[in-house]
Chain A
Amino acid sequence: MRDSSAVFGYAIDNWNLREEWIYHYHPSLQLKMRNLKMRVHTASPALAILLLAAVFVVQTQAASVEPLGLGEPGTLEFVSIETGRTVDGVLTLAGRDASQQLLISGKFSSGQIRNLNPIATYHVHPAGILNVDSTGWVTPVTEGQATIEAETAGGIKASVVVRVTDLITDIPVNFPNEVVPVFTKYGCNSGGCHGKSGGQNGFALALLGFEPTEDFEHLVNELRGRRLFPGSPDRSLLLLKASGGLPHGGGARFDMDSPPYRMIRRWIEQGMPYGNEEDPVVTHIEAFPKERLMPRDGKQQLLVIAHYSDGSTRDVTRVTQFDSNEEDMGTVSQTGMVSTGKMTGTVAVMMRYQSHVDVFRGTVPLGVKVDKLPPSNGYIDDLVFKKLIELGLPPSEASTDGTFLRRLTIDIAGRLPSQQETEQFLVDQDASKRKRAIDRLLASSDYADYFANKWGAVLRNKRATNTRKMHTYGFHDWIQRSMHDNKPYDQFVREVITASGDSQFNPPVNWYNEVKDQSAQLEDTAQLFLGLRIQCAKCHHHPFEKWSQDDYYGFAAFFSRVGRKPSPTDSNRSRIFHRRGVASANNPKTGKKIMPTGLGATAIEIPVDEDPRQQLADWMSRHDNPFFARALVNRYWKHFFSRGLVDPEDDMRVTNPASNPELLDALAADFIESNFDLKHLVRTIANSKTYQLSATPNDYNENDRQNFSRYYPQRLKAEVLLDSIDVLTATPTQFAGLPSGTRAVQLPDNAFDSYFLTVFGRPESASACECERTGDANLAQHLLLLNSKEIQAKLGSGRSAQLADDKRDHAAKIRDLYRTALSREPEPEEIAIASAHIDKNLPNVKAAYEDVIWALVNTKEFLFNH
């Protein structure tokens, strides 16, 4: 309470400042309202009432101008019932446990399709054959045929014929197909419970049900069968625990007499059959719908159909596990009902049934008219703008010249533009000056330095001992030259993964010096070059992906003939060679021998004399490889936009879809078309109007994090920031053993001691993950920038001394500082503030300039690329 008045005052100030945009922007208004209401609690009651009244007024005014969203649907014209498996107008429900989710969709005069499950009511003729509950979930009662009629708004109806069969002759329950998915759906076999290694309280299930035979063993045979009781199924420990009849650490997971309960009960009743080998298995699952435009606070029922190897289908909606990838955007219930919130954008809902996955994407438009788009400069803009129009999300303005030049020079060359570059660019009147700047920077060795720094970290160019120096330097030099010569990317990768010999003569061999064992080699290759994290599949089926252990070991087989012997000149290193023989790897679980297999491809037999790694490189660089080009363009997209189209950039999977899939496809196609030309890719991205948008949000896109409607600022990387401070203070950092003038981005490896670089998140090059580099802010960074001897030493010499001796007027000198630090002219007000500070400190001009430079270094405008 002690500073309530101050807090209150702040609220009012802010209020006035932002009044204008409050009226325009509802989502943010909501946040403000909460803030205001919260603050009210800290103010006096009288003030509180006053303020509440004000809140009310603004809220009602704002509501009238809330952006349209999806917009009014118009009148309902047509209603349909989807089941995903209706054949010739008839839906068949076979067996006692069969069920079916109905999906009721309405087509409106506006062209919109909306889900009508929440409002539909159902009539069944004749009655008694089946039940339909209020959510549109159908369960059989007795054999026969009936018609379900769904009635919606205005009496508009649709119907479907349902035939119920196989109730009298009981179909045996299939354990892997029916029982195991229940464990997954209700979290029994999750990593936190019985699915963890060793199980929970003595009862173990295979993680996420990927090993049904093991589960069967544990349930039926372990503990002399006391978990199941065929004589009285309801007294089985499994059902008593799961339904809360006996104390259970995980609580009651489902009710007695719920569908999973009844199914498991029937399975026990039948004597716990496992199922036959010939029984059909699930080949894939299919979601209905796959995509939909949704209103704010909207609902969409999902429907999941499993397809079996015998061509049959089954509704598995109620035994599918659903997960939303952005809970802020939208949530999903256990029964597959998606609910959107207030935010604009796309929510992906993952569905998992057994080892199969599918995804639904619901998009909530903001609904503002997007009429001021910059002229498109190619397919990137076409596809980004298409999405923005679809969302009704207007992009920010184009960036100013100074901002653009600074952004571009940092992103391509890893440094600030020089004062001279800035001055020339600002006065240049040529319409193509941005394009020329891009070409100039790409041709410079600074581009190669900066990207060598990026690749060096993820290629793990790590110096373990000083004797390795020659090799890490050599590898860095090789990467730098590859970037400078614009070596085609497929060639670059091939030279790394097929590297043989001694790293003294063939630098990429150094990768094998650091990435030592077979699993590290294949995991790094998958993560770094294919954007796939297949580590999970080493021990069990990948939880979110189709990768099985066979896939993992098939991929591992490519590295099975990597030979290694000590280098004659340095015992710390190895020479790499191809060990003649048949390439294969063993799946440790099945003992099966697996031939080299690209991910999702077919196995290949490789002659004993051929190095399988060449075949791997061939497979990766094939134009139809679905991962290789996508992974790279996504990695580079993230470099420039600070968020990948798929994010994290090295975790690409069906269940982590791209925010703009068409754009990812187009970038990949263009990259392949250009013969894996990295500079072409950079040029294409940098020339897009999307990349050149301002970072400053307009009234609508402040919350946008995935659609690139503005440039997302990112903090300068550790090395770039140190170099920039060096330039601004005119005090270059000297690195031990390197020529003076060597910049931090040019360091050949990461073994140079620097508290500054470490604190700002320089990676240790210990893994293939870009996440090793942290751009996060922390306290140590700001203590360093605000108050360290290191920075004070830089401030105290160099630039401040030069400026103190410089006889020009202060305004001219302040202008120099702004052009160098921020690549722009200072505002008159800024010159006035800085000049006033200098005057105040007369005669100690040098100290005053130290202060001004210190302040500039600590502004977010300096610390961030924006």
Chain B
Amino acid sequence: MNTKLKVSEISKIYPGCIANDKVSLEFGSGKIYALLGENGAGKSTLVKILSGVVKPDEGEVFLNNESIKLNSPLDAKKNNIGMVFQHFNLFETLSVFENLSIDSDKKDEELRALVNDILKKYNFKIDLDIPVLNLSAGQKQKVEIIRCLIRNPKVLIMDEPTSVLTEQETDDLFISLKQFSKDGILIIYITHKLKEVLSLCDEVAVMRKGKVVSVSNTIDEKIESLANKMVGENLNTIKKKINNFKNSEEILKISNLNFKSDDPYETNLNNLNLSLKKGECLGIAGISGNGQNELFQILSGEIIIEGTSIMFRNKEIAKLNPRERREYLMAFSPEDRISQAAVPELKIYENVALNNFKSSNFFEKGLVNEKKIKEHSKKILSNFSVNTDNVELKSQFLSGGNLQKLIIGRELITSPELLVCFNPTWGLDVGAINYIHETLIQINEQGKSSILISTDNDELLKLSDRICVIYKGKLSKIMNADTVTAEKLGILMGGGSID
């Protein structure tokens, strides 16, 4: 059956921000539509309206030419609109089956049969009777998708579905989505990743600052053209000049690093050796979960291991905690901005103060020197073009990009000799990514070193001087970046070997 979905003149205004400004779009079944835009462009608001979570101030939604009211998520369900949110709406402590049965009117046996059919049809492999918290992100997403499929959806909306997925899981997802589309489900795919739009979608609508700025067929688009529409300005693509550091001074040397964890969810590290020259950027590639987390925590001092030597600027630092390492001019930007790098409930200046070191004088005789911290914070905000000058703002109100700028700024303002960052542009929009990349190149130019642990190969190839791959807790040979290609990385990341 053909499905037509139309949104007409939708507006939603939040205090101080027009999230949607007279948005009109049309969709028809059999195609996959991309809704593309930077963070804060209004995509999420639009899909929240379509799924009944948020009510629009103005405008109407038509399904098959009939105006429908979407006052609650129930209304969306009744109209066969299914939605998979970026942040999963699952109950972690309940079993997969309980998660599925909670909003189903079917009897348990019927539902189980139906779910098993879906699992078989789309080749999903999920144990229905284990708690959701034991599932991987990709599996959780499949549970969300199954929850929609149970209701025979006409429309399936996916909100930034790949931000939590590995590359393999992303490939699987795309195969499923194409299959759904063939089965007549209209798919709306929200993303800020340009490559995905080109490889998956048939049509693309670009949103900027709450407005739809372009609708086109993806065949007619290229990465650059979409990026420019999305950001609204011509982006200069940056590429670092790769340097040769043969004769430079060695700044960091780790030999025979072994780490064995009791936690089955952690990865053991085997015999890692690496060294870093002054001014150099070492990229560490790999599919997430291959030991990056553990390596980062060992570098930052969150995990301290016995019997390994970590020499930093000719000093042994293996036994120092993160704060003491900062005194020696190391700096760290963890992967998880919200729970590791910053405390979202704290104000900006309070988050800055958390990164306290001896020379900062943030605290005097046990008292907080608020004035000093605020001045320091203001400097970070302006030097690293964070989109606010209000240091009293709670950090949770910053967008991902601005929060990341704040974190990187907080680390860099002390002019560290080494910055270790882990997926610094994860989930950010093009503008913010560009800014972070420029900043990272800049510190190398100033003769400071960096270690970039990332799951984004483009980013690694763009920024690194030398690259290696971590696979199941082991490091590959460290290669000069100009000899490395995305293909080579791909082989190594999958556990293969080259030459």
Is A bound to B?
A: no
